[in-house]
């Protein structure tokens, strides 16, 4: 029985010491007054005073002794078997050499005793899972991640009084020693080390910007470690998907680490999946930590727009004003301020005019723009014929192009049968069509075309009825570039209320489509600015103009938020086999919902191999929710949703015989199997030894582990707490009074 001593005064020991010193000083000083007395009397009074002071001190401070009285009682032992991935180390030298295999061997040795004594078995990684000794050892596979010994001990604390932890000691938890000690369990440990020194190169850690921007470098900082081999040089590869985009030669020190910084520049928005990889060395113990994947959420940085206008006009002015006002748009604009027929009445150096740098723009920098807008622009006077094929190529490769109407463009600009005319969603009338046919001059209120009500470009309001009213409330447009018909599967979004095209369909005012990988927009009027100032002047919603162009620009720039079909996972990172929850809104290219549609969710690896799949059905709004199981191997994966029946558009585009699934949307996610678990795979016997020491347990190695019965599972139980405060008794107080009285009487007699 162990106990503790304390003082029953505020401040405890400190107050007691202070009081003791004060009393001792008082006694010492008082003794001076006894100097004239004979020695015997002086001694007698001194002793009495000392005893009185001591008694007063003890009564005042109330020293107390307290102790727990406990009994040892037999308990229940549980075995905790580490099945984290670090236990696979050694398997490169053969299955029997892995830490896991040797731990299995230990289980086999303990099985008989365990079954007889009813010892329970748990496996653990992040936490503990109940198992049993009658389960064949081969069933214990080291696949768990993120070893947390303290969490595992906590998880079994209610089922056992002592645990036997069988582990390599590689733990990722925080404050493990303190937490295990606080659990109150006796913890015995069996250290599963390696047979031979570990030889391994590892990507121990990757730090990176979780959010990146298109065309802006993302910094990636990797920590590389090497164990059990002399300094050597390795080639660290950075991959986007399966494509090697950078390789860096790195010198790894002997038994140490080094840091490497790399940069990667995302090219499109969304989640970009990258991978760092080291070559697999022949003696490398763990191949899983030779790779680390990471996801960067790529957002659009500033949108780069090129606006070329054939002449200044209010349409040009208000569009430029809108584009310049948006801080997320980098605008490069060129307005033709003077034609060759204009008489400036000034020398060129009296003019603020600059040459139109067509070659720079369309030969050198075209690819750097997200969107190119031709606003009432005719190419012919600027000898731009040679650049039109480049514009077509730019759009085919994923650039976006918009042609905005006016008296200089569409058929009046001679775009029919040119590369630019071919990419438009509308067929342009021939170049020499009389102006009376190529242009209309009447005022009209455009209306939303059938089938376009869900398209974001004409969605001024989310409510369909309010949206129609919003369009009707806008100031009317004036004049229109007449086109022959839609082409390239273009979609009519706004149409003239009465005029028709060559096919007898309503004359398109706004049409959208795609060409190659790019998006294309055609607005056949130069008076969209009337949706702003004139509408506001009439008391209407003048903000409609900015909202229309904001959406138009974002749609052209492929803002993911405006994609017709979208799919997202609930997380970016999953453990092996975890449930991946998926949400999707599925609409076709015309933004019509895939209502009550049978679709297939699939998980694909980097090589496009299908790893998991399930069928699902959308609701009336094209929405879908579902779950899929994450793969068991680490890496980056795509989750895609396919439409079982290809659309009519797709069939028409690819031939009626093409019955392959139509890919609608996708997202990417990571499965981290190694992760931090294998970042430093060295076994840690010191931790296991400390755990045992702190909890009165025993530390063993595989070689010296004894039978289960040798591990003490008993637990001391506190029966009572004993408290003794001897100087608080009344008799002692009475004694103190007697001492004080005797001393007082003698002092009165002898001193006077």
Question: Min. distance of Cβ 291 from other proteins in angstroms?
Answer: 44
CA gyration radius, the chain: 42
354 scored as a contact of other proteins (CB under 8 A): yes
For residue 302, state whether it binds other proteins (rule: CB under 8 A).
no
Pick the stretch among 145-153, 218-226, 345-353, 698-706 that binds other proteins (CB under 8 A): 345-353
Should residue 359 be labelled a site residue for other proteins when binding is judged by CB under 8 A?
Answer: no
Of 410 and 699, the one with the shorter C-beta distance to other proteins is: 410
Residue selected from 197, 537, 577, 707 as contacting other proteins according to rule CB under 8 A: 537
> By CB under 8 A, is residue 481 in contact with other proteins?
yes
Output 532 or 575, the one with its CB closest to other proteins.
532
Q: Which of 684, 580, 669 is closest to 147 using CA atoms?
A: 684
Q: Which of 421, 532, 593, 622 binds other proteins (CB under 8 A)?
A: 532
Does 375 help bind other proteins (rule: CB under 8 A)?
Answer: no
Residue 266 binds to other proteins (criterion: CB under 8 A): no
Applying the rule CB under 8 A, the residues between 396 and 435 that interact with other proteins are: 405-408, 412-413, 435
Region from 23-31, 57-65, 347-355, 738-746 binding other proteins, contact rule CB under 8 A: 347-355
Find where tokens 């503990």 sit.
Answer: 128
* 232 contacts 251 by C-beta, under 8 angstroms: yes
- Binding of other proteins by 141 (CB under 8 A): no
Closest approach, Cβ 311 to other proteins, in A, equals 4
Residues from 35 through 74 that contact other proteins (CB under 8 A): none
Rounded to a whole number of angstroms, the minimum distance from the CB of residue 346 to other proteins is 6
Which of the ranges 131-139, 445-453, 472-480, 511-519 carries the binding residues for other proteins, by CB under 8 A? 472-480
In 3D space, the residue among 618, 619, 577 whose CA is nearest the CA of residue 601 turns out to be 618
Strand order across the 211-213 sheet: 211-213, 291-299, 270-277, 232-240, 243-252
Q: Which residues have C-beta within 8 Å of that of residue 464, sequence separation ≥ 6?
A: 453
Q: What SS3 class is residue 510?
A: strand
Selected range binding other proteins among 252-260, 343-351, 449-457, 659-667, rule: CB under 8 A: 343-351
Q: Which residues pair with 510 in a beta bridge?
A: 494, 523
Q: Which residues contact 462 (CB under 8 A, 6 or more apart)?
A: none
For the CB of residue 335, give the shortest distance to other proteins in the complex, in Å: 6
In the bound state with other proteins, the residue whose beta carbon lies nearer, of 106 and 402, is 402
Residues in region 435-454 near other proteins by CB under 8 A: 435, 439-443
234: left (phi over 0), alpha (psi -120 to 50) or beta: beta
For residues 338 and 398, the answer to whether their CB atoms sit within 8 Å is: no
Q: Which residue in 113, 32, 126 sits closest to 79, CA to CA? A: 113
Does 663 help bind other proteins (rule: CB under 8 A)? no
Minimum Å gap between C-beta 234 and other proteins is 45
Provide the mask over 145-184, with x wherever binding to other proteins is found by CB under 8 A and - wherever it is not: ----------------------------------------
* Alpha carbon of residue 689 to chain centroid: 36
- Check residue 358 for interaction with other proteins (CB under 8 A): no
Nearest to 285, CA basis, from 147, 170, 150: 170
Question: Which one of 38-46, 77-85, 227-235, 477-485 is the stretch in contact with other proteins (CB under 8 A)?
Answer: 477-485
Pick from 480, 521, 673, 690 the residue near other proteins by CB under 8 A: 480
| DSSP string for residues in 695-752 | TT--EEETTT---GGGS---EEEEEEEEEE-GGGSHHHHHHHHHHHHHHHHHHHHHT-
Minimum separation from the CB atom of position 376 to other proteins (A)? 9
Cβ–Cβ under 8 Å, residues 700 and 327: no
342 touching other proteins, by CB under 8 A: yes
- The secondary structure element, H or E, covering residue 321 is helix 314-325
**Binding of residue 546 to other proteins (CB under 8 A):** no
In the bound state with other proteins, the residue whose beta carbon lies nearer, of 319 and 470, is 319
Handedness of CA 678, 679, 685, 687 (dihedral sign): negative
Candidates 66, 267, 344, 500; binder of other proteins (CB under 8 A) is 344
Query: How many other C-beta atoms are found inside a 10 Å radius of the C-beta of residue 249?
Result: 9
CA distance 418 to 424: 10
We find the least distance from the C-beta atom of residue 377 to other proteins, in angstroms, to be: 11
Q: Is 32 helix (H, G, I), strand (E, B) or coil?
A: helix
CB of 394 to other proteins, least distance (A): 20
Answer whether 751's CB lies under 8 Å from 33's CB.
Answer: yes
Nearest to 209 by CA among 297, 274, 293: 297
Please report whether residue 525 would count as binding other proteins according to CB under 8 A: yes
Contact criterion met (CB below 8 Å) for 410 and 402:
no
Q: Is residue 497 close enough to count as binding other proteins by CB under 8 A?
A: no
Identify whether the C-beta of residue 476 lies closer than 8 Å to the C-beta of residue 519. Answer: no
- Residues β-bridged to residue 163: 78, 187
Among 159, 247, 450, 538, binds other proteins (CB under 8 A): 538
Site membership for other proteins, residue 543 (CB under 8 A): no
Cβ closer to other proteins: 158 or 341?
A: 341
Segments of 39-193 assigned E as strands: 63-73, 77-82, 120-124, 128-131, 162-167, 186-191
The nearer residue to other proteins, 356 or 732, going by C-beta atoms, is 356
Q: How far is the CB of 374 from other proteins (least distance, A)?
A: 14
**Residue 536, interface with other proteins (CB under 8 A)?**
yes
Task: Give Cα separations from 425 to 221, 315, 325 (angstroms).
Answer: 46, 21, 29
x/- binding map, residues 305-324, to other proteins, per CB under 8 A?
A: -----xxxxxxxxx-xx--x
Interacting residue ranges for other proteins, rule: CB under 8 A: 310-318, 320-321, 324, 332-339, 341-347, 349-354, 357, 378, 405-408, 412-413, 435, 439-443, 475, 478-481, 525-527, 530, 532-534, 536-538, 542
């Amino acid at each position: 029985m162990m106990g503790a001593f304390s003082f029953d005064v505020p401040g405890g020991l400190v107050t007691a010491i202070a009081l003791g010193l004060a009393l001792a000083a008082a006694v010492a000083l008082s003794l001076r007054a006894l100097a004239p007395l004979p020695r015997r009397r002086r001694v007698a009074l001194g002793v009495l005073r000392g005893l009185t002071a001591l008694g007063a001190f003890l009564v005042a401070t109330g020293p107390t002794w307290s102790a727990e009285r406990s009994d040892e009682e037999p308990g229940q032992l549980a075995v905790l078997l580490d099945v984290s991935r670090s236990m696979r180390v050694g398997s490169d030298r053969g299955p029997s050499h892995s830490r896991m295999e040797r731990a299995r061997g230990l289980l086999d040795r303990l099985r008989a005793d365990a079954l007889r004594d009813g010892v329970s078995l748990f496996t653990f990684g992040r936490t503990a899972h109940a198992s049993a000794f009658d389960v064949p050892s081969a069933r214990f596979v080291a696949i768990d991640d993120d070893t947390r010994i303290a969490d595992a001990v906590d998880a079994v604390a209610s089922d056992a009084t002592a645990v036997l932890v069988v582990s390599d000691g590689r733990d990722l938890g925080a404050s493990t020693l303190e937490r295990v000690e606080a659990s109150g369990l006796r913890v015995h440990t069996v250290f599963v080390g390696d047979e031979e020194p570990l030889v391994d190169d590892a990507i121990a850690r990757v730090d990176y910007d979780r959010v990146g921007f298109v065309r802006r470098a993302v910094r990636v900082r990797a920590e590389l470690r090497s164990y059990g081999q002399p300094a050597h040089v390795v080639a660290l590869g950075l991959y986007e998907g399966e494509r090697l985009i950078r390789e860096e030669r790195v010198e790894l020190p002997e038994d140490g680490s080094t840091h490497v910084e790399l940069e990667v520049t995302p090219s499109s928005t969304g989640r970009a999946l990258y991978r760092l990889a080291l070559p697999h060395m022949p003696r490398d113990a763990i191949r899983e930590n030779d790779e680390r994947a990471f996801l960067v959420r790529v957002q659009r940085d500033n949108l780069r727009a090129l606006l070329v206008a054939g002449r200044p006009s209010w349409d040009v002015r208000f569009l430029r004003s809108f584009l310049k006002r948006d801080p997320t748009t980098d605008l490069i604009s060129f307005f033709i301020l003077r034609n060759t027929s204009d008489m400036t009445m000034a020398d060129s150096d009296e003019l603020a005019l600059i040459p139109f740098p067509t070659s720079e723009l369309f030969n050198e920098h075209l690819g750097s723009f997200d969107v190119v807008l031709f606003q009432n622009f005719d190419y012919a006077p600027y000898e731009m014929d040679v650049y039109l094929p480049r514009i077509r190529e730019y759009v085919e490769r994923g650039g976006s192009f918009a042609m905005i109407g006016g008296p200089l463009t569409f058929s009046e600009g001679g775009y029919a049968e040119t590369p630019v005319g071919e990419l438009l969603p509308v067929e342009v009338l021939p170049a020499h069509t009389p102006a009376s046919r190529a242009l209309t001059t009447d005022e009209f209120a455009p209306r939303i075309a059938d089938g376009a009500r869900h398209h974001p470009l004409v969605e001024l309001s989310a409510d369909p009825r309010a949206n129609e009213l919003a369009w009707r409330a806008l100031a009317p447009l004036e004049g229109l570039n007449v086109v022959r018909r839609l082409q390239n599967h273009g979609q009519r979004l706004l149409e003239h209320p009465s005029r028709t095209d060559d096919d007898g369909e309503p004359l398109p005012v706004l049409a959208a489509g795609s060409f190659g990988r790019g998006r294309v927009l055609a607005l056949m009027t130069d008076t969209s600015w009337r949706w702003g100032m004139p509408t506001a002047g009439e008391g209407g919603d003048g903000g409609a103009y900015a909202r229309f162009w904001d959406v138009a620009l974002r749609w052209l720039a492929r803002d993911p938020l405006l994609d017709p079909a979208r799919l997202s996972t609930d997380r970016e990172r999953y453990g092996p086999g975890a449930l991946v929850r998926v949400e999707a809104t599925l609409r076709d290219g015309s933004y019509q919902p895939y209502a009550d549609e049978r679709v297939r969710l699939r998980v694909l690896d980097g090589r496009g191999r299908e790893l998991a799949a399930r069928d699902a059905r959308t609701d009336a709004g094209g929405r879908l929710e579902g779950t899929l199981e994450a793969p068991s191997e680490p890496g980056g994966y795509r989750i895609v949703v396919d439409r079982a029946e290809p659309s009519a558009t797709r069939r028409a585009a690819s031939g009626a015989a093409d019955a392959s699934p139509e890919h609608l949307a996708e997202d990417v996610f990571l499965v981290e199997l190694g992760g931090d678990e294998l970042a430093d795979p060295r076994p840690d016997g010191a931790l296991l030894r400390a755990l045992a020491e702190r909890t009165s347990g025993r530390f063993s190695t595989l070689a010296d582990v004894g039978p289960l019965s040798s591990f003490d599972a008993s637990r001391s139980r506190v029966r009572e707490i004993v408290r003794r405060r001897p100087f608080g008794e009344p008799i002692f107080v009475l004694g103190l009074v007697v001492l004080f009285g005797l001393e007082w009487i003698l002092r009165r007699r002898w001193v006077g």
